[in-house]
Copies of this chain bind each other. A is one copy, B any other.
Amino acid sequence: MKICVLPGDGIGPEITAEAVRVLRALDLKFELEEALLGGCAVDATGQPYPEATSKLARAADAVLLGAVGGPKWDTLPREQRPERGLLAIRKELGLFANLRPAILYPELANASSLKPEVVAGLDILIVRELTGDIYFGQPRGIEQRDGERYGFNTMHYTESEIRRILRVAFEAARKRNKKLCSVDKMNVLETTQLWRDVANELAPEYPDVELTHMLVDNAAMQLVRAPKQFDVMVTGNMFGDILSDEASMLTGSIGMLPSASLDEHNKGLYEPSHGSAPDIAGQGVANPLATILSAAMLLRYTFGLEEAAQRVEGAVKKVLAQGYRTGDIFEPGTKKVGTREMGDAVLAAL
């Protein structure tokens, strides 16, 4: 059971360190090896996704990632920006299925900017396609045309790409509340008309799941208006980027939200939904719980260790119940702790 650990940039090293301690504490004989991705990799090798990292990631069963990026690298040429490393590893490993839960922990209900009655008990799973769409479409670029600059990108999907992500979403819905909402913009984009057609063709294979369709603009509204109407949502790479971030912010505590990006054989890359937070990097105050919960997803999806996954998730719930809070989720009356102490608390709860 090989795990490639990519601490990345900003708070990445601090938060992955805690997740690694949790994984080790489970005593499950993981082989853990570290490598560079993102800005730190650019600094060391000139490449955001160096060959050594690629080799290790390809050989591993799972990848645990902190976060990448920061202002330091924002002015580099496109090919050397940290996020190119992220896009490259997703594509190379074929991680087409991005699972992003948006869960509101009862203890953190106040953190939401929405009214308690609108978000209490929120539990949505967003399934985002991650290796296709306008993210990777060719042709693309900025050219000179008719005497001026012209920027262009290509959105596209094949029916097999659509089918395989929809299957992941249907299966996920089957294990949850059996409601799947597929999001598209079929009234404008042919690519997403095909998306809707393929979803409708697959539906009869999942008679136990209720499939509905929603236009992306309406979905962005409904997430604000009444997010609890959703169980599983599935959509393409671009819309999924926007909607999954919107959905996670409904909870008010994205420091708590993990994610998994899976290939067709349950190999996966696991990372917190939040970013590298350069402003608080190195201070030992970042919230490691989203990364620890990402490690729980790793146990579940890649290794099928459901019990171990639940142990970790249970430990996180317990530290919340005990009142431990990092700065991002702190409220008067709770115990403010740093990254390391939060890790200690989770280890104790295990």
Contacts and interface: CB of A to CB of B under 8 A. Distances in A.
Contacts of A118: 113
A34 interface: no
Contacts of A153: 154-156, 189-191
Nearest to A218: B245
Max count, chain B CB within 10 A of own CB: residue among A190, A195, A244: A190
A87 interface: yes
Copies of this chain present: 2
| Interface size grouping (class) on chain A | 35 or more
A306 interface: no
A188 interface: yes
Contacts of A333: none
A150 B252 CA distance: 38
Contacts of A146: 158
A135 interface: yes
Contacts of A83: 187-188
B225 A245 contact: no
Given A225-B249, A246-B221, A158 B154 contact: no
Given A217-B245, A246-B221, A135 B188 contact: yes
A160 interface: yes
Interface stretch (A10-18, A137-145, A340-348): A137-145
Given A216-B241, A242-B216, A190 B151 contact: yes
14 contacts: A134-B134, A137-B152, A142-B190, A149-B194, A150-B194, A151-B158, A151-B194, A153-B154, A153-B189, A217-B241, A220-B220, A220-B243, A221-B245, A221-B248
Max count, chain B CB within 10 A of own CB: residue among A83, A197, A220: A220
Nearest to A78: B193
Interface of A: 78, 81, 83, 87, 113-115, 118, 134-135, 137, 140-142, 145-146, 148-160, 185, 187-195, 197-198, 216-218, 220-226, 238-239, 241-246, 248-250, 252, 254
Contact of A220 (B115, B154, B198, B246): B246
A220 B223 CA distance: 11
A295 B246 CA distance: 32
Nearest to A160: B148
B224 A189 contact: no
